[in-house]
Amino acid sequence: MTFSTAGRTVRPPRVGRTARVVSTLAAGLMVSGVLAACGGSDDSSSSGGSYKIGVEIDQTGRSKASGVAQLKGMTAAADAINKAGGIDGHSVELIVRDTASDAAKAVSAYSDLKSQGVSAIAGFLGSVDLGPVVKRAKADNMALLATGSPPDLLDPKNTVFSTVANVNAQSEATLSYIKNRMDDGDVAPEGRVGILRYATPAGEQQSVALAAKAKELGIDIVTEQTAPPGAASLSSQLQTIVDKKPDAVIFLVLESDLLTAVKAADATGLPKDTPIASWAFASSPSSLALVAKSGYHDIAASANLQSPSAAEQSDGLKAYVTAAKAAGLDPGSTQIPEGYAQTMIAAAALKKCGYPCSSKDFIAALESTSTDLDGFAFGPITYSRDEHRGFTAMRFVTSTDSGGIAYAGDPIEIISK
């Protein structure tokens, strides 16, 4: 709105300057807020120098919910290690860069972290930040520890390592879970299953893996519906699934989309006793309890790690709960255990590597590491020269009436040893 008609000229710029001051102030506040959130763990306990691990993770942008939580878990683990005297006297320092779900930021963060001489770079929630740096990391011999790697990047010719059960393995595990329920007589022997998955490249990769696994297990996929992440409505997809009258349903979506999916299932009239299986993203006690509120009581989600709300408690789980509480976190919160585990896996490799640990040595160390994190995982997490997927077992969890967690069935082997 700029008028320069005679008689009523634009007001002198008293506003412009104030605005600029305010904007700068606001920007400054935000930046400092983000920095505070990203501040790495303190290395005050270090005596003989510290191990440096870079972290590329979303603190803003689309995936910030998972990114913020994961970083909290990672920091809690580093703090616990450092408080206990570090790794053979050397503390662990996390150097954090926000990728903001942005490929360009991921690339510049990579160069920055590399120049700081980190032993490896962790974080990596998805293909957006991981994809663009994979080639350079391979050339630089830099290990990338990811919680959200697409299956194809885990090919051992790359330097990408998964620190959770990868999504293909998880998707196949949901079929194994349904198969177990069929064997128990909970699901009709025809095994007619409806699937909802993401309409993304990774989703297409899963689709192929799922078809093969279903054939192997004798499961009939009656429909496979797709949706973009964060869809405002999943009603049409659920309508199609309901129309096929499936014996069981599999939702291969993230936590908040799982809530949307069960609400849409309710709206379109999917029977409340239909068995439903989902990914680990919804395996926290709070999100399973939320989902159970919809009235679908037979929902199970695969879990990467033991749940603090379950009866069984390993030493590794207890250590995790202590570390999370020390950092003021809710141990049952989503993605915090995965962040904690990632730092712990890196620590296991660093211990093997010795100090100092070059990025090349780190890869060699990690490729000979096998740990179950003191029983925190359901089976060994094993890496080798030709296996970068790590997790070998998962277990399905359901919500109990009291809001706790119960295991559904035995651990499921997702990578044969």
Partner 1 sequence: MTAASLVSLVASAMLLGSVYSLVNLGVVLLVRTTGTMNFAQGEFIMLGAYVMSALGPSMGYWPGLLATCVVMASVGFLGYYLLMRFLHGGSEFDKVVLTFMLSIILTQAVIMLWGTDPREIAPATRARVPLLDTSVQATTFIAIAMTVAIAVGLVLFLSRSITGLRMRALSADESLAEYYGIRTEVLSGLAWAMAGVCAAVAGVIYAQGTAVALTLPEILLLAFPAAVLGGLESFEGAVIGSLVVAGVYTFTNYVLGGQWSIVIVYSLMLITLMVRPYGFFGRPVAQRL
Partner 2 sequence: MTTTLGASPQASQSQAVSLDGVCLAIGEVDILDSVTFDVAEGETVGLIGANGSGKSSILNVMSGYYSPTAGAVRVRGHDVTKIRAERVPRYGVGRSFQSVGAIKDLTVRELIALGVEPAWPSSLVASLLGLRAGRSAERSALDRAGALADEYGLGQFIGVRLDEAPYGVRKMADLLRVFVGEPSVLLLDEPASGVAKADRSAIVDLISQWRERSGGSVVLVDHDVAFVVRLASRLVALSSGRVVAVGPVDHVLRDDAVVESFLGSSA
Ligand X SMILES: Nc1ncnc2c1ncn2[C@@H]1O[C@H](COP(=O)(O)OP(=O)(O)OP(=O)(O)O)[C@@H](O)[C@H]1O
| Closer residue to Mg ion (CB): 5 or 44 | 5
Closest to partner 1 by CB, 158 or 398: 398
7 is a site residue for Mg ion (CB under 5 A): yes
d(CA 285, CA 96): 28
Contacting residue, 38, 55, 57, 68, with partner 1 by CB under 8 A:
68
Q: Which does 311 bind (CB under 5 to 8 A by kind): partner 1, Mg ion, partner 2, none?
A: none
Residue number closest to ligand X, CB atom? 9
Q: What's the gap between Cα 411 and its chain centre?
A: 20
From the list 3-11, 106-114, 177-185, 215-223, the region that binds Mg ion by CB under 5 A is 3-11
Question: Among residues 290, 310, 406, 415, which is the contact residue for partner 1, using CB under 8 A?
Answer: 290
Quick one: which of 2, 7, 17, 157 contacts ligand X (CB under 6 A)? 7
Q: Rounded CA gap, 172 and 345, in Å? A: 24
Question: Restricting to residues 300-319, which ones interact with Mg ion according to CB under 5 A?
Answer: none
**Residue 171 and residue 161: Cα distance in Å, rounded?**
18
231 binds partner 1, rule: CB under 8 A: yes
**CA-angle at 220, arms to 216 and 225, nearest 5°:** 115
In the list 141, 205, 207, 239, the residue contacting partner 1 (rule: CB under 8 A) is: 239
Length of the chain: 417
In whole angstroms, the minimum distance from the beta carbon of 397 to partner 1 comes to 16
By a kind-dependent CB cut-off of 5 to 8 A, residue 293 interacts, out of partner 2, partner 1, Mg ion, none, with partner 1
Q: Which residues contact 8 (CB under 8 A, 6 or more apart)?
A: none
- Answer yes or no: are the C-beta atoms of 249 and 275 closer than 8 Å: yes
Q: Considering the rule CB under 8 A, would residue 230 count as an interface residue with partner 1?
A: yes
**Min. distance of Cβ 9 from partner 2 in angstroms?**
8
Interface with ligand X, residue 10, by CB under 6 A? yes
Q: Is 63 or 158 the residue whose CB approaches partner 1 more closely? A: 63
β-sheet with 160-162: strand ranges across: 92-98, 51-57, 120-123, 143-146, 160-162
When asked if residue 26 is in the footprint of ligand X (CB under 6 A), the reply is no
Contact partner, 235, from partner 1, Mg ion, partner 2, none, Cβ < 5-8 Å per class: partner 1
Determine, following the binding rule CB under 6 A, whether residue 13 of this chain makes contact with ligand X: no
Minimum Å distance from CB 20 to ligand X?
Answer: 19
Judged by CB under 6 A, which of 1, 2, 3, 6 binds ligand X? 6
For ligand X, the binding residue among 12, 15, 328, 402 (CB under 6 A) is 12
Judged by CB under 6 A, does residue 9 bind ligand X?
yes
Instruction: Rank residues 363 and 405 by Cβ distance to partner 1 and give the closer one.
Output: 405
Residue 117 neighbours by CB distance under 10 Å:
12
Cβ proximity to ligand X, 7 vs 185, nearer residue: 7
Question: Toward partner 1, which CB reaches closer, 119 or 237?
Answer: 237
Considering the complex, what minimum distance in angstroms separates the CB of residue 152 from partner 1?
19
| CA angle at 47 for the pair 46 and 48, rounded to the nearest 5° | 105
> In the complex, what is the shortest distance from the CB of residue 256 to Mg ion, in angstroms, rounded to a whole number?
59
* Structure tokens that stand for 292 in this block: 């159970």
Binding site for partner 1 (CB under 8 A): 1-3, 8, 10-11, 15-16, 18-19, 22-23, 26-27, 29-30, 33, 60, 62, 64-66, 68-69, 199, 225-233, 235-237, 239-240, 242-243, 255-257, 259-260, 263-264, 266-269, 284, 286-287, 290, 293, 295, 330, 333-335
Binding site for ligand X (CB under 6 A): 6-7, 9-10, 12
Binding site for Mg ion (CB under 5 A): 6-7
